[in-house]
Amino acid sequence: MKITDIQVQVFTYKSKQVNDSEGHSHPGPEHDAQQALLTVTADDGSAGYCFGSPSSLRQPVIDQFVRPELVGRDPHDRELIWQGLYKRQRGSGELLSDRVLAPVEMALWDLAGRKLGLPVWKLLGGYRDRVPAYGSTMCGDEMAGGLATPEDYGRFAEWLVNRGYQAIKLHTWMPPVSWAPDPKMDVKACAAVREAVGPDLPLMLDANHWYSREDAWYIGRELEELDYYWYEEPMDEHSTSSYVWLANQLKMPVLGPEMAQGKFRTRAEWIVRGASDITRTGVMDVGGIGPSMKVAHLAESHGLACEIHGGGSGNLNVLGAMYNGRWYERGLLHPFIDYDETPGYLNSIIDPMDSQGYIPMPTRPGLGEDINFDYIEEHTVEAA
């Protein structure tokens, strides 16, 4: 079997989410947003699919870097292909990012699963058929009745508990909110949520990633008093020594890294230097499913938990095959957004949650996405 073609379709769909100047998602008016579908096709007619960002899966990047590495290869040689793409990254002028590697590699996993009639988490080894979810909020805003005040966070936390979430993670206020960042306001929001949900529900904070050591330490000490479960990304993660310092200052677990480049190698450095107590990975952060499993096993070999950053089909399949990750991150959530609404390009969402807060593993072959191919064809604006 040989790969014969790689295609990217950019299409429009209706969305009620907008991004601010810093890239954070918030509710907004319904508008036409864009998504990209990457398709890898083999000579026997087999195909694998993965969604990605149109800004990452640009045709010049596919033509210059991806197509030469894939066409003519056996699609089952995922590690060989991934290593080839990885080696091309250095000379790509940062065009061949991990957010290109990830959907390409996941499309290969999807092809294999569809060919064999098995979900990817089964191909990876299979550990569980469901996973508990935590509700992950959007960042704070200045919308009346949204997430503008600590009290707003408290009310929303009550709704999340009633919906069935077994834990909650806050994203608090970040620029361009006019008065942010403000560590004391972050603490007030965390306190309001703890008061709303009681003493037993696990709570986490993903703080502003530009805080100083002093502000990060202040927030961390307050979170310890509130019995928070973990503390995530209060500072720039490229300063590993800052996280070594913070982890040594606090009794509560520090989680990371999330966005620091370097894939499993950077995670290894954080582990051996003691920069975090819980390791972080995610398919879009480290370049795919295979490298995410490497991070999970790396953490496991050091006796550490490994929590997955973000939701989606790739991360869900990784969770289905790993032992040392507890939670699925479901979101981002907001009082004005119906997360359970199915977008037009899908027939059903990948992560339906039951009333007890559990997400079932996909049963469809491959990544398990229930793709509405007719909708995508009708709304395609660019294909190559």
**pLDDT value of position 86:** 97
Each residue's pLDDT, cut to its tens digit, for the chain (384 residues) gives 999 999 999 999 999 999 999 999 999 999 999 999 999 999 999 999 999 999 999 999 999 999 999 999 999 999 999 999 999 999 999 999 999 999 999 999 999 999 999 999 999 999 999 999 999 999 999 999 999 999 999 999 999 999 999 999 999 999 999 999 999 999 999 999 999 999 999 999 999 899 999 999 999 999 999 999 999 999 999 999 999 999 999 999 999 999 999 999 999 999 999 999 999 999 999 999 999 999 999 999 999 999 999 999 999 999 999 999 999 999 999 999 999 999 999 999 999 999 999 999 999 999 999 999 999 999 999 998
CB 317 within 8 A of CB 122: no
pLDDT value for 384 = 83
- The region that residue 93 occupies, defined by phi over 0 for left and psi between -120 and 50 for alpha, beta otherwise, is left
> CA-to-CA distance for 282 and 327, rounded, in angstroms?
12
Region of 72 on the Ramachandran plot (φ > 0 left; ψ -120 to 50 alpha; else beta)? left
In this prediction, residue 223 carries a pLDDT of: 98
Give the pLDDT score at 331: 97
Q: How far is CA 270 from CA 80, 275, 278, in A?
A: 26, 5, 10
Amino acid at 339: Y
Query: How confident is the model over 305-335, as pLDDT tens digits?
Result: 999 999 999 999 999 999 999 999 999 999 9
**pTM exceeds 0.85 for this model:** yes
Q: pLDDT digit string (tens) for 188-245?
A: 999 999 999 999 999 999 998 999 999 999 999 999 999 999 999 999 999 999 999 9
Strand partners, 67: none
Report the alpha-carbon distance of residue 57 to residue 37 in Å, rounded: 9
